[in-house]
Amino acid sequence: MLNLLSTTTSENMTLFEMLSDNIIFSIAALILLGILGGKLVEIIKFPKVTGYILIGILIGPGVFGVLTHEMLDHFIIIRQMAIGFIGYTIGLELKLKKLMKTGKQVTIITLSQAFLTTFLVSSAIIVYLSVTDGDYAWTYGLILGAIATATAPGPIVAVVKNFRTKGPVTDILLPLVALDDAIGIMIFAVMLSLGVSLLGPSGGTNVLHMILEPVFEIGISFVMGGIL
C-alpha cells in the first residue's frame, strides 16, 4: 500500500503527496491505519490504544514522516474536540455514590503524587542545571516540574472502555485522572508565574492573572458539566 502511494507521477510528485493535500484524505488514512494497528495488537492481547500510539509514532514526523508537522497543524480543532469528548467521558463515569466512598482516597493519592512529582522533577532539573552551569535553572526546574504532573486521560479511558473494567481500582482511577489534570493545571499556572518572574523585569507577568485564569476555566467547566 505504501509502495503504491509512493509511486512517482510524471510531474515528479508522489501520489501520497497529492492526496495528503486533502485534509479529509489525511484524516481518513490516519483513522484507517489506527484501526489496523489496534486490531493487530489485540492479537497479542494488548489494548487497542497501544496500537493507536504505535501507529502514531511510526507515521508521525519523528519516524517515517508520513504525517508532517504542517499536516498535524490542520488537526488542532479535531484534537481539541477529542480532548473535550475524553473529559466528558470521564465525567460520565463519575458516580456520586462511588465518589462518596472513594473521595478521600482519590484526594490523598492525587495530591501526594502531584506535589511529590513536581518536587522531585524540579529538584533534579535545578540540581543538574546548577552543576552544569546551565542558565535559568530555577525557571526551567519549576516549569518542567509542573509539566511532569500532567497525565494523559485518553489512553486510560480507552483501556477502561476496551476491557470494560469494573471494580474498586476503576472507581478510583477515573476520578483520579480527572482531579489530577485539574491539580496539574493549577500547579502549572503557579509554577509558570514564579518561573517567568525569576527572569527579571523583561519576563515579568501578572502572577495573579495566571493563577486565577485556570481556576476560572475549571470552575466554568464544572458548571457547564453539571448543567449538561
64/92 same-domain check: no
Instruction: Give 194-211 pLDDT, tens digit per residue.
Output: 888 787 655 455 667 766
Instruction: Tell me the C-alpha to C-alpha distance, in Å, between residue 207 and each of 23, 50, 58, 194, 210.
Output: 40, 39, 41, 8, 5
Establish if 120 belongs to a structural domain. yes
Given 22, 46, 74, the domain boundary residue is 74
Strand pairing partners for 8?
14
Q: How confident is the model at residue 186 (pLDDT cuts 50, 70, 90)?
A: confident
Given 74, 103, 138, the domain boundary residue is 74
55/117 same-domain check: no
Q: Which three three-digit cell numbers place residue 178?
A: 480527572
Q: pLDDT exceeding 90 applies to what percent of the chain?
A: 21
- Which pTM value belongs to this model? 0.66
Instruction: Give 11-68 pLDDT, tens digit per residue.
Output: 445 555 655 567 777 778 888 988 999 999 999 989 998 999 999 898 888 888 777 7
Establish if 109 belongs to a structural domain. yes
Contact 153, 177 (CB under 8 A): yes
Establish if 123 belongs to a structural domain. yes
Establish if 161 belongs to a structural domain. yes
Environment class of 60 (CB within 10 Å of its CB; exposed 0-12, middle 13-18, buried 19+) = middle
11/103 same-domain check: no
119/222 same-domain check: yes
Is pLDDT above 60 for 98? yes
- Return the axis-axis angle of helices 168-197 and 96-131, rounded to nearest 10°: 40
103/177 same-domain check: yes
Establish if 81 belongs to a structural domain. no
Given 39, 74, 109, the domain boundary residue is 74
94/204 same-domain check: yes
Q: How confident is the model at residue 7 (pLDDT cuts 50, 70, 90)?
A: very low
32/104 same-domain check: no
**Domain tally, the chain:** 2
Q: The domain containing residue 95 runs over which residues?
A: 88-227
Q: How confident is the model at residue 8 (pLDDT cuts 50, 70, 90)?
A: very low
101/212 same-domain check: yes
Establish if 79 belongs to a structural domain. no
23/123 same-domain check: no
Q: Which three three-digit cell numbers place residue 82?
A: 477529542
The C-alpha atoms of residue 41 and residue 48 are separated, in whole angstroms, by: 6
Question: What dihedral angle (degrees, nearest 10) is formed by the CA atoms of 88, 161, 95, 179?
Answer: -60
The C-alpha atoms of residue 200 and residue 187 are separated, in whole angstroms, by: 21
119/145 same-domain check: yes
Q: Which three three-digit cell numbers place residue 117?
A: 512529582
User: Where is pLDDT greater, at 121 or 87?
Assistant: 121
105/217 same-domain check: yes
Establish if 147 belongs to a structural domain. yes
114/157 same-domain check: yes
Establish if 119 belongs to a structural domain. yes
CB atoms inside a 10 Å sphere around CB 66: 20
User: How confident is the model over 132-140, as a mean pLDDT?
Assistant: 87
